[in-house]
Structure 1
Amino acid sequence: MSPADITTAYIALGSNIGDRERYLAEALKKLDEHPHVQVLACSSIYETDPVGYVDQDAFLNMAAAVHTSLSPEGLLAVMQNIEQVLGRVRDIRFGPRTIDLDLLLYGEREIRTPDLIVPHPRMQERAFVLVPLADLFSHIPNTSFASIEKQLAKLDGKEGVMLWKKMQWPSESGHSAS
């Protein structure tokens, strides 16, 4: 990846079926193994109450920063393929899932297509997205997260987001960020 072609993107990850932590780690590993994606950093893992369809187990959620030379649509396709490989089934809206990957931000771009909206249209309403994202931003030099913290301060539901495990990429995963 040449520096001119690289964009920093931010991805939310969530799991509430089976070995939730393993699914998060596998998704990060698969992202990092893609030749056009490099995982730079990730937030800690948070256990969160389900939103929308509440008759399901608690989620583990986190956020990751990646460098990519893929288009937003190309990155989305990679993310959806990883979901499929890891057994994601889409039968209940907001229902249980082995893994969920959402593209939150793609550089400074705003995207509105039938298949993709960036910034993610509901991220400002979701503590389970903003808490890990603020955590991630706090560990990345030269990243301003004042708007995230401001939105988080106004948001209800933060009590349903609890630190589950501190993480650091790549040392926690054993993978190389190269």
Structure 2
Amino acid sequence: MIYVLLGANLGNRVKTLQRAAQLIAEHVGPVVQQSAFYETAPWGVADQPAYLNQVLSVETTLPAENVLVQTQVIEQELGRVRFEKWGARVIDIDILYYSDLVLKSDTLTIPHPYLHQRRFTLVPLAEIAPSFVHPVLGKTTRQLLAECDDEGEVALFN
């Protein structure tokens, strides 16, 4: 089981996240659970539109590096262009967890290195995986959220 974070703050955010989930189901594996959409404050670069975020749990047989390749292909298909780190984007797909795998390579770090510092990640993750234990920090999603210092706004999107 993997957990991925979808984020978009340009274009039709809802349609983009829905299409990303559909493409993940087609190319990575079945989507088992998905959080609600959350409208969230930008993180890293403040001067940009609000994001829409969602976390998916996905069953996959692909190795972690192949999941990364597939998610990057999906980002490109949906129009992602990388201008600046943490800048505005049509779509962003982050691998948060790959079961309890701990991996650090030149191209991929799992668990995601910033997930415990970001409310926009932890709130939707806590909705679908509150008891999942971070394999490095040894804390549940609920505990990480309670300890998170990030004050960025995260609101349920209607």
Q: Same fold (TM over 0.5)?
A: yes
* TM-superposition CA deviations, 1:123-169 (whole Å, max 9, x none): 0000000001001115xxxx54662111111223356000114xxxx
2:140 is paired with a residue of what secondary structure? helix
Q: Which residue of 2 aligns with 1:22?
A: 15
| Conserved 8 A contact 2:120-2:152 | no
Indicate the residue corresponding to 2:99 in structure 1.
107
User: 1:55-66 alignment to 2 at 5 Å?
Assistant: 55-66=47-58
Q: Within 5 Å, give how 1:116-131 maps onto structure 2.
A: 116-131=108-123
Say which of 64, 72, 87 aligns to 1:95: 87
Q: Flag the structure with larger Rg.
A: 1
Query: 2:6 matched to 1:13?
Result: yes
Rounded Cα–Cα distance in structure 1 between residues aligned with 2:47 and 2:132: 36
CA contact (8 A) 2:41 2:152 kept: no
Residue matched to 1:44: 36
Asked if the contact 2:126–2:142 (Cα under 8 Å) also holds between the matched residues in 1, the reply is yes
TM-score between the two structures when normalised by the length of structure 1? 0.82
One-letter code of the match for 1:48? T
Q: Which consecutive residues of structure 2, in runs of 5 or more, have no partner in the other structure?
A: 134-138
The match for 1:74 is 66
How many matched pairs? 153
Q: Distance in 2 between matches of 1:162 and 1:100?
A: 19
Instruction: Determine the C-alpha separation between the residues in 1 that align with 2:55 and 2:117.
Output: 16
Aligned residue among 74, 77, 84 for 2:76: 84
Which 4+ runs in 1 deviate beyond 6 A?
none
The answer for unaligned runs of 5 or more in structure 1 is 1-7, 166-178
TM-score (norm 2): 0.92
Q: State the Cα deviation string for residues 99-132 of structure 1 (Å, max 9, x = none).
A: 0000000011101100000000010000000001
Q: Per the alignment, do residues 64 and 52 of structure 1 end up closer, same or farther by CA in structure 2, a change over 3 Å counting?
A: same
**Aligned partners of 2:40 and 2:50 also within 8 Å:** yes
SS across alignment from 1:37 = coil
Percent identity over the alignment is 39
